[in-house]
Amino acid sequence: MDMRATTAADAIAVEERWCARNYKPLPVVISRAKGVWLWDTDGRRYLDMMSAYSAVNTGHGHPRILAALQRQAEQVAVVSRAFHTDRLGPFLARLCDLTGLDGACPMNTGAEAVETAIKAARRWAGTVKGVARDQAEIIVAHGNFHGRTTTIVGFSSEAEYRDGFGPFAPGFCLVPYGDADALAAAITPNTAAVLLEPIQGEAGIVVPPAGYLAAVRRLCDQNNVLMILDEIQSGLGRTGRWFAHQHEGVKPDGLCLGKALGGGVLPVSAFVARRDVIGVFKPGNHGSTFGGNPLAAAVGLEALIVIEEEGLVQRSAELGEHLRRRLHALSSPLIRDVRGKGLWLGLEIDPARVSARAVCEDLMRRGVLSKETHETVIRLAPPLVITREELDWAVDRLAESLDALATSPSASVPAPA
């Protein structure tokens, strides 16, 4: 059976025939990418304002990362953790030095890093804090998005993420995001950890009130509770700091990392934590066949080096402020809010006027690719290697789109040449 697609429509049809319908992609078929640019099967070029949910912070096909990938693949790619390798130690040492934490458990996807954090927190509660067996509780926030496993969706506040996937694991307590008083009231002697995103991504780039993370840190210290932050999307330069929690000067006890850690070419993640937390794992407790494989370790290390040596954190801070100023200057009646930090901004659209999906579809026709969340917010998160000129070009296209849709929500433009 020949499944080769000859047109974009063919490619979409083949994918929809054989792939689970668990995504609703824009009707564009990407066949090539470089830096901040994507090309479809017809050769049309688009500016990437999505970065694969921050997985492509260093840009598509970064030459140094590709070179590291090829060098390591030619040596050894996967042997499992049944054996030591010469790549894993240097990668995790660099990661721990960067975070200021003491040890790490390498995994593959962000959800796996979060699952590792949950297991570590529960085991720490029993072995270090003295919580009775199987009684440990973890406090999470409304609007959270930590992954798609059954445990994680079980403590989501989003009905769509939970629908039909129960029964769910107990041991989680939901509190309003950004409300330190509600968090304080939820802490009990059985509380093992507080698990939060310092900025909520999937919820629509939601930034908590100033001082919230510092208040969480104080509450955790006062009650012998772990502060675990999920920086899978917000980390590694995305918000104009290496990690979003650094905007408030706090230090977590555990940190979930992923996405950009794979340099845009591989799934690489890790749970990084202080010594008494990461030390709860013993041989046989936890593992992953591919987690920490030498190919992933080589790529992860090079991704960290590229972010540092190319000054991408500072670039995100500077260009993020420029992007914020330009968005505020648009003054479109369709815009309800602009929020975020660094090169991670959410543009909230008035749903009574037009859907965020309609704006993303119109932007696609103008040569800019992004994605809506909850039909109300457009994510603006380009690779951190973007230039000011490229960023301005994207905002100019956004301005055109908003003007056209404000006049006529059904307006459209020809596909880009």
Say which of 259, 341, 362, 371 is annotated catalytic: 259
361 sits in which H/E element = helix 356-366
Say which of 91, 145, 155, 281 is annotated catalytic: 145
Q: Helices 294-309 & 63-75, crossing angle to 10 degrees?
A: 160
Note if 91 is an active site residue: no
Note if 290 is an active site residue: no
Q: What percent of the chain is helix, strand and coil (3-state, nearest 5)?
A: 40, 15, 45
Taking the C-alpha atoms of residue 250 and residue 263, their distance in angstroms, rounded to an integer, is 26
Per-residue burial over 333-370, b = 16 or more CB atoms within 10 Å of its CB, e = otherwise: ebbeebbbbbbbbbbbbbeebbbbbbbbbbbbbbbbbb
Alpha-carbon distances of 253 from 75, 131, 220, 321, 361, rounded to whole Å: 35, 18, 10, 30, 41
Q: Does residue 377 contact residue 204 with C-beta atoms inside 8 Å?
A: yes
Say which of 230, 243, 290, 362 is annotated catalytic: 230
- Tell me the sheet residues that pair with 194: 139, 227
Tokens of 5: 């697609």
Tokens of 11: 């490619």
Radius of gyration of the chain (CA): 22
* Cα 301-123-103 angle, rounded to 5 deg: 20
Strand segments, DSSP code E, in 149-251 are 172-175, 191-196, 226-230
The edge-to-edge listing of strands for the beta sheet with 368-369 is 30-34, 37-40, 45-48, 368-369
Note if 362 is an active site residue: no
Q: Are strands 368-369 and 344-349 parallel, antiparallel or unpaired?
A: unpaired
For residue 299, how many C-alpha atoms fall within 13 Å in the half-sphere facing its CB? Answer: 33
Tokens of 261: 């850690």
Residues designated as active site: 145, 230, 259
